[in-house]
Each structure stands twice: as C-alpha cells, then as structure tokens.
Amino acid sequence: MGQVTIYLDDSIEKKMTEAAKSAHLSKSKWIARVINEKVATEWPQSVVDMAGTWKDFPEADELRQTEAKDVEREPL
C-alpha cells in the first residue's frame, strides 16, 4: 500500500477533518474515498440504479419524430 504526504492550509485541513468525522472515517480513508470517486471510470451504483425510473420519459425514436428536417449543407 502506498503512502502520500500532503500539505494543507489550516482551513482546508479543518474542513477535511470535519467531513471525515461526519462520515465516521479516518482522515486517511476519507481522502482515499475522495480520490477513488474522482478517478472512477464508471457511474456510481446509485446512478446506475436510477436507470429506467422515469417511466414517462419518451424514447429516442419518439423524440426524433418531432425533429425538423435538417437544412442541406453548403458545398465546400
């Protein structure tokens, strides 16, 4: 497991300490969680779980039915 040393302004350290305490995490685990969230390449599970929850949202084909015809492009 790697180790990193960071230097924080007093005000930032205070905010970080309060956030870690409210999340019931050590400062190290809180920082690791924040970094993990920032480098994640997939949607969070909470977002994935929302897929399909808007039953009244129109499908793509339905949205495209109301589109106007595109204007022809000018030749280059």
Summarize pLDDT for 34-73 with one digit per residue, the tens.
999 899 888 888 888 988 887 787 788 888 887 777 788 8
For helices 27-39 and 10-22, give the axis angle rounded to 10 degrees: 90
CB 39 within 8 A of CB 32: no
CB 16 within 8 A of CB 27: yes
Q: What is the pLDDT of residue 29?
A: 95
Q: What is the pLDDT of residue 22?
A: 97
| Cα–Cα distance, 38 to 57 (Å, whole number) | 30
Q: What is the pLDDT of residue 59?
A: 80
Q: What is the pLDDT of residue 12?
A: 97
3-state DSSP percent of the chain in helix, strand and coil, to 5: 45, 0, 55
Rounded to two decimals, what is the model's pTM? 0.55
Mean pLDDT of 13-36: 96
